[in-house]
Amino acid sequence: MQYFSTRGDDSRLSSAEAILKGLAPDGGLFVPEQLPQVDADFIAGLAPLTYEKRAARVLGLFLTDYTADELMGCVERAYGSGKFDTAKRAPVVTLKDASVLELWHGPTSAFKDMALQLLPQLMQTALTKTGVTDTVLILVATSGDTGKAALAGFCDVPQIKIMVFYPDGGVSRIQRLQMCTQAGENVNVTAVRGNFDDAQSGVKEIFSDAAFNGELQAAQVRLSSANSINWGRLVPQIVYYFSAYADLVTAGTIKAGEEINFTVPTGNFGDILAGFYAKEMGLPVHKLICASNANNVLTDFLRTGVYDRNRAFYKTITPSMDILISSNLERLLYHLTGDTAQVAGWMGELAATGRYDVGEALLGKIQQTFWADWADDAKTQATIKDVYDANHYVCDTHTAVAYAVARSYQQATGDTHHMVIASTASPYKFNGSVLAALGAETSGLDEFQLLDKLAEYNPQPVPAGLAALAHLDVRHQGVCEKSGMRAAVLNFARK
C-alpha cells in the first residue's frame, strides 16, 4: 500500500518512507491510497490472540512493505518486556452504565504509549529497510502526554534524536516532571512561551521551511515527527478499537456483529480518527462521540461545519485537550471528500484567517458518524465524583470529560447502543484535580504525597514511573519564544 499527501503532492511513498518523513513536503498529512476492508471472520479471529498478535494482524493490512516477522518483532519489543503493567495492554472494564477502555497501562501512564512505544520500532526498522544513513531528528509539540511517551519510546534509540516542545506553564506538574527528568543522550526538552498551538504551529513551520531543512541536511540530519501527524503514530491506535471489540464479545457484553459507540476525549483528533478508520474498515461502530473541554472548537465544527480557532484559549484541568488547532481533522476531510485541492484550500484559509467552512453537504456526511459536546471543569469534576460514587472507579479528568459527554449523548438521542469510553490517562497524572473532585483534604500535601492520598481511593496502585519521579533530577530547563524554536532545533541537531 502506498501513501500520499492530503494536499495533493504527487509523491507516492511506501509506509516505511511515509513514517520516516512524518509530514508531506507540501505540509499535508500522509494517508493510505485505500482503506483495507475486514469481515466478521477477521474480527472473530482476533479474540483468542494476545494484544501483540492482534496488533500485528491489523498493522499488516496497512504496513504492507513490512514483513510479518518485522511487524511481530516491532510489536513484541513495543508492548513486551514488562513495559505495560497488565497482560491485556489495553483492558476493557465494564461499569454499570458503560465500558471503559483503559489505554494508560504503559510506562508513562497515558494512551500515547499505545503508539509511541511502537513508533520507534517501526521507524528504526524503516531506517534499515530504506537504507537511510542520516540522523533522524524527531520534533514533537506536546500538550502534556505525547512528550513523555515519545521521550520514553525514543530514548537512546540509535540513529535517532528527539526534541520535545511543550507550552510553558501549560502542562500539569507531573507531566512537566515526567518530561524534564528524562534521561538519554539523544533527548532534549524545551518549554515554549505560549500555548500548545504556538508550539505545534512552530513545529509545522520548521517542517515546511525548505531553507532551514537544507541547513539540517548539510549536517546529515533529517526531520520527522512523533505527533499524530505521523502515520506511524496514528496507525497503532486503530488496533485498540478492534481489540476492545473482541474483548467485549468474549466477555459476553455484546454479541458478534453488534454495533457499539465510542466516546473519545479529543484534542488533536488523532485518537477518534483511529476509531473512524476502524469503522470504515468494517468494525461494527455506530457512532463516534467527540468530547471536548472548554476549548470546544471541535464541538462547534462538528455541529456547524465551521472551524474557527479565533476564540479565547482556556487553561483547564484537562490540559492534554487545551488545543484550538486539531491537525488530524485534515485527514478526515480528505477521506470524506477525496479532494486534495479542496482540503489544501481549507487549510490555507485556516492558516490565513483562522477559520474555514466545509458547507452543509459535507457536514451532513460527517454527522452520519460523529456527534459532539463538551464539558467545563465543574462538570468534569462532578462526573469524577459521580462515577466514583456509582462504581468505586477513579477516572482522570480527560476520561471524565468523555464520560460526561457520553451521558449527554445518550440523554439527547436516546441511543441504547453499548457505550465504550476511551480512558486516556491514569488518574494519578492529574492527582490534584481528581482528589479535589472527590472532596479529599489535600492542604499541605506535595505532588508525591498527593499520589499516596489518591491511592487511598483508587484500587489501582500508583504507577511505578510516577512514583519514581520524586527521586529523579531535573535535566532539561530550556525555555524559548516561538520565534526561537528554529535556533533551538539547529543547536540540538548539531550536537
Q: Identify the residue whose cell numbers are 467552512.
A: 357
Alpha-carbon span 442 to 454, nearest angstrom: 10
Residue pair 489/163 in contact by the 8 Å Cβ criterion? yes
Maximum pairwise Cα distance, the chain:
60
Check 21, 112, 148, 161 and give the catalytic one: 112
CA distance 196 to 179: 15
Of 277, 275, 329, residue with least CA distance to 300: 329
Three-class HEC string of the chain: CCEEECCCCCCCECHHHHHHHCCCCCCCCEEECCCCCCCHHHHHHHCCCCHHHHHHHHHHHHCCCCCHHHHHHHHHHHHCCCCCCCCCCCCEEECCCCEEEECCCCCCCECCHHHHCCHHHHHHHHHHHHCCCCEEEEEEECCCHHHHHHHHHHCCCCCEEEEEEEECCCCCHHHHHHHHCCCCCCEEEEEECCCHHHHHHHHHHHHHCHHHHHHHHHCCEEEEECCCCCHHHHHHHHHHHHHHHHHHHHHCCCCCCCCEEEEEECCCCHHHHHHHHHHHHCCCEEEEEEEECCCCHHHHHHHHCEEECCCCCCCCCCHHHCCCCCCCHHHHHHHHHCCHHHHHHHHHHHHHHCEEECHHHHHHHHHCCEEEEECCHHHHHHHHHHHHHHHCCCCCHHHHHHHHHHHHHHHHHCCCCEEEEEECECHHHHHHHHHHHHCCCCCCCCHHHHHHHHHCCCCCCCCHHHHHHHHCCCCCCEEECHHHHHHHHHHHHCC
CB 143 within 8 Å of CB 170: yes
Does the annotation mark 112 as catalytic?
Answer: yes
The residue written with cell numbers 475486514 in the block is 38
Catalytic positions, please? Answer: 112
